Structure 1
Amino acid sequence: MDAYRGFVMFLMAAELLQFHKLHEAFPDSAFWAFLAYHQSHVEWAGCSLHDLIQPSFSFLVGVALPYSLASRLTQGHSFGHQFAHALRRSLILVLLGVFLRSIHASQTYFTFEDTLSQIGLGYPFLFLLGYARPRTGWIAFAGILVLYWLAFVLYPAPGPNFDYTAVGVPANWPEHYTGLMVHFNKNSNLAWAFDTWFLNLFPREHPFLFNGGGYATLSFIPTLGTMLLGLQVGRWLRAGLAHNAVLKRLLIAGAAGITLGLMLQVTGICPVVKRIWTPAWVLFSGGWCCWLLAGFYALIDRADKRGWAFPLVVIGMNSIAIYCLVHLIDRFIINSFYIHLGHGPFQVFGPVYEPLLIGIATLAVFYLILWWMYRRKLFIRI
């Protein structure tokens, strides 16, 4: 789990490498085009490797919960004490998300679509379901997907005269759907309508009209579905099953999730859209999370090859730290390099490679900080 989490956080931090700039400089290079694609989010439907960061992080919160509950029970913590901790953790995650989103704003920027806030909003419900039977967890998982899909479908679809340009969407945008899936179009769906009411309850510099990326607060509900899938997988890992049995379950669950998610889109029932966390996205991304976990499990637990994963473990055991560091001091580190070293060392291969090299140097600083914390057993927990 720590290695997988470290891999995910590395992907997040690796945005500093700015592959898109090299793709712009070498538009005919398939290599840079591939890396740039998988370091950015798709426009609406579909998936890149970068799109799997948030579901992986959410999924791993669920995987870790059975271990956390077992540890607290052995320490003699009562249910009430544990639930109070879950509520406190939820509040901290939500507020930390708001704080990090407000860094470059002129006032507190109240939005709740980022990874930390989404996990925080759903965490108390995940905790309660952690004490339920596995069967109840599966029922809750299915119920969330079906009811969330139904809520979107029952919300009135945008009419032919709907002004998409007023909500930040080009009128001729190629990602527009027709038929049943029109209910999942960008900034014209249930989640967008909810935010035009909810987010305007908070003090704002300007009234909230739309999110430029189409992200929404209500996505925490299907995100809870992603965490619940992780909870069920965490129970498999703690069940004492043989390694091959665990791998078999992960591979089958992954194949089932990916297949069902794609079928929902192909049949026109529900698109695979990460930005509003559609039920099809929960299944599709959840399937990939199972497969990714299966890969790390096969190499580390089954094959007992652990040495290669140490750098990822260093990152994964301080995931909150690296998340905050990247958001808070990335520009400080970059500016410090330029102040003390100038641009020369980062242009050794030519100016076009400067963003890549300064990104590598910044990532190295982040890793040294995490390695120092790991050596001194300093782990930030919420």
Structure 2
Amino acid sequence: MQAVSTPETEQSVASAPIVNPAAPRVQRVASIDVYRGFVMLLMMAEVLSLPAVAEALPESSFWRFLAFHQSHVPWTWLSLHDLIQPSFTFLVGVVLPYSVASRLAKGAIFKSLLGHAIKRSLILIFLGIFLRSMHSEQTNFTFEDTLTQIGLGYTFLFILGFYSQRVQLAALLLILGGYWLAFALYPLPGAAFDYMASGVTPDWAHNLSGFAAHWNKNTNLAWAFDRWFLNLFPRESPFLYNGGGYATLSFIPTLGTMILGLLAGNRLKSAGTDREKLRFFVITGMSLMAFGVLLHVTGINPVVKRIWTPAWTVFSGGICFLFLAFFYAVIDVAHQKKWSFFLMVIGVNSIAAYVIADGGIKTVIMDSLYIHLGQNFDNVFGPAYATLVAGGLVLLFEWLILYWMYKRRIFIKI
């Protein structure tokens, strides 16, 4: 990880290995930064604690609605909050063609690019572990968060970026089909299965039935893998299950989401017209969403974000295509950029924003506010809104930190 003095485009791998080293500098696509800023704002906005407001105002359907979309769903389908990780992951693929083209134009060779990709993968993995261990008494070796999931698949994505789109599509189908088959072949719990050891009960309200039960919480292939894999690392106590059902192996279909982003990035960087690109994004997005719904309702594969089912990869990937179409149409085609400056500041420094939102800086700001202003939060709009007011101030200070970095052209990249 390093700080650079210019916002050099990190918009990553081309679909073909032939790039003219004398090509001009690759233009930055503003809509990608704005989309990324929107995603990171959703993550940073967790500090607003909307569920706490909804709990304090149980009669308000408005706050219940907002609280739902700032929380993860228990198992199937999604809320707005569930789109943070797939969007961030999708954009890794979108920017890859730009990043590689930029580095090749500066004279880089494949060997050095591959070394950089491996280095980036390792940094993402260890940064994710570090952030998850900040409040632990020992290193918390866990691999299901956004950064580690991207890191585990990134080098494979990079290599795929040097092949044709036909090969990339074939890899996507192989990954999703193979992952679906592996889960489908893993046996369902028998009569003697110890549900207490998996953290769920056989009558949990969100358990799926029939063939879809192969993707139930903590009784699936990925859970079984983690019972072996995570216990290879030093732990305070043996790993039995993840309380949220998240799993290490989800990095495999997560790679599928990055490949979808790579396909979008290839089209975005192509010589086609804006109209053709937008048509492709919209049609692809709607088709992927429809296919994901079909997989779910037929019981072939449920839409579950927590274990990143193939249906989730397809369904959420479709939504990401539509988000990209919206931001591209407004920012880069219609050139309506003034309103997006707030998001741009966040998006061009997404790693810094991620660390601020997920690390200790947020806690330091919040503690300082409560030390100096804690007695006044309840008096602003009433006790029900105390966490909202405090969180809003924290979010403002977080943005001001990023704005300070933006004005001084300090951009953190990996």
- TM-score normalised to the size of structure 2? 0.91
Q: For residue 212 of structure 2, what is the aligned residue in structure 1?
A: 181
Q: For residue 284 of structure 1, what is the aligned residue in structure 2?
A: 315
1:155 aligns with 2:186: yes
Inter-partner Cα distance in structure 2 for 1:143 and 1:342:
54
Q: For residue 286 of structure 2, what is the aligned residue in structure 1?
A: 255
Cα offsets for 1:140-166 (capped at 9, x unmatched): 111111000000011111123423232
Q: For residue 235 of structure 1, what is the aligned residue in structure 2?
A: 266
Q: For residue 71 of structure 2, what is the aligned residue in structure 1?
A: 40
Inter-partner Cα distance in structure 1 for 2:217 and 2:190:
14
For residue 362 of structure 2, what is the amino acid of its counterpart?
D
1:302 aligns with 2:312: no
Return the offset for 1:138: 0.6
Inter-partner Cα distance in structure 1 for 2:259 and 2:119:
20
Inter-partner Cα distance in structure 1 for 2:412 and 2:278:
31
Q: For residue 379 of structure 1, what is the aligned residue in structure 2?
A: 411
Which of these residues, 103, 114, 130, is aligned with residue 161 of structure 2? 130
Inter-partner Cα distance in structure 1 for 2:347 and 2:327:
13
Alignment of 1:216-235 (within 5 A): 216-235=247-266
The DSSP-based 3-state class of the residue aligned with 2:244 is coil
Cα offsets for 1:226-280 (capped at 9, x unmatched): 0000000000000021111111101011111111111001001000000000000
Q: For residue 15 of structure 1, what is the aligned residue in structure 2?
A: 46
Return the offset for 1:209: 0.3
1:82 aligns with 2:113: yes
The DSSP-based 3-state class of the residue aligned with 2:177 is helix
Cα offsets for 1:169-199 (capped at 9, x unmatched): 1332111122211111100100000000000
Inter-partner Cα distance in structure 1 for 2:365 and 2:123:
26
Cα offsets for 1:317-364 (capped at 9, x unmatched): 111101111222111101111222332145311111110000000000
1:354 aligns with 2:386: yes
Q: For residue 59 of structure 1, what is the aligned residue in structure 2?
A: 90
Which segment is superposed worse, 113-122 or 292-301? 292-301
The DSSP-based 3-state class of the residue aligned with 2:245 is coil
Q: For residue 351 of structure 2, what is the aligned residue in structure 1?
A: 320
User: Does the 8 Å contact 1:90/1:120 carry over to 2?
Assistant: yes
In structure 2, relative to structure 1, the CA distance for the partners of 1:149 and 1:364 (3 Å cut) is: same
For residue 73 of structure 2, what is the amino acid of its counterpart?
V
Q: For residue 99 of structure 1, what is the aligned residue in structure 2?
A: 130
Alignment of 1:18-33 (within 5 A): 18-33=49-64
Inter-partner Cα distance in structure 2 for 1:62 and 1:368:
29
Q: For residue 373 of structure 2, what is the aligned residue in structure 1?
A: 341
Q: For residue 116 of structure 1, what is the aligned residue in structure 2?
A: 147
Inter-partner Cα distance in structure 1 for 2:67 and 2:202:
26
Cα offsets for 1:285-326 (capped at 9, x unmatched): 000000111110111111110111111010001111011112
Which of these residues, 125, 135, 141, is aligned with residue 172 of structure 2? 141
User: Does the 8 Å contact 1:23/1:29 carry over to 2?
Assistant: yes
Inter-partner Cα distance in structure 2 for 1:237 and 1:309:
20
The DSSP-based 3-state class of the residue aligned with 1:27 is coil
Q: For residue 367 of structure 1, what is the aligned residue in structure 2?
A: 399
Cα offsets for 1:198-230 (capped at 9, x unmatched): 000000000000000000000000000000000
User: Does the 8 Å contact 1:163/1:171 carry over to 2?
Assistant: no
User: Does the 8 Å contact 1:19/1:32 carry over to 2?
Assistant: yes
Q: Which has the higher helix share?
A: 1
Identity of aligned residues (%): 58
Inter-partner Cα distance in structure 1 for 2:201 and 2:348:
42
User: Does the 8 Å contact 1:93/1:120 carry over to 2?
Assistant: yes
The DSSP-based 3-state class of the residue aligned with 1:40 is coil
Q: For residue 17 of structure 2, what is the aligned residue in structure 1?
A: none
User: Does the 8 Å contact 1:158/1:183 carry over to 2?
Assistant: no
For residue 106 of structure 1, what is the amino acid of its counterpart?
E
User: Does the 8 Å contact 1:113/1:216 carry over to 2?
Assistant: yes
User: Does the 8 Å contact 1:258/1:287 carry over to 2?
Assistant: yes
Q: For residue 330 of structure 1, what is the aligned residue in structure 2?
A: 362
Structure 2 stretches lacking a partner, 5+ long: 1-31
User: Does the 8 Å contact 1:18/1:355 carry over to 2?
Assistant: yes
Q: For residue 29 of structure 2, what is the aligned residue in structure 1?
A: none
Inter-partner Cα distance in structure 1 for 2:110 and 2:287:
34
- TM-score normalised to the size of structure 1? 0.99
The DSSP-based 3-state class of the residue aligned with 1:343 is helix
The DSSP-based 3-state class of the residue aligned with 2:183 is helix
Return the offset for 1:127: 0.2
User: Does the 8 Å contact 2:377/2:383 carry over to 1?
Assistant: no
Which 4+ runs in 1 deviate beyond 6 A?
none
Q: For residue 212 of structure 1, what is the aligned residue in structure 2?
A: 243
Inter-partner Cα distance in structure 2 for 1:253 and 1:347:
50
The DSSP-based 3-state class of the residue aligned with 1:380 is strand
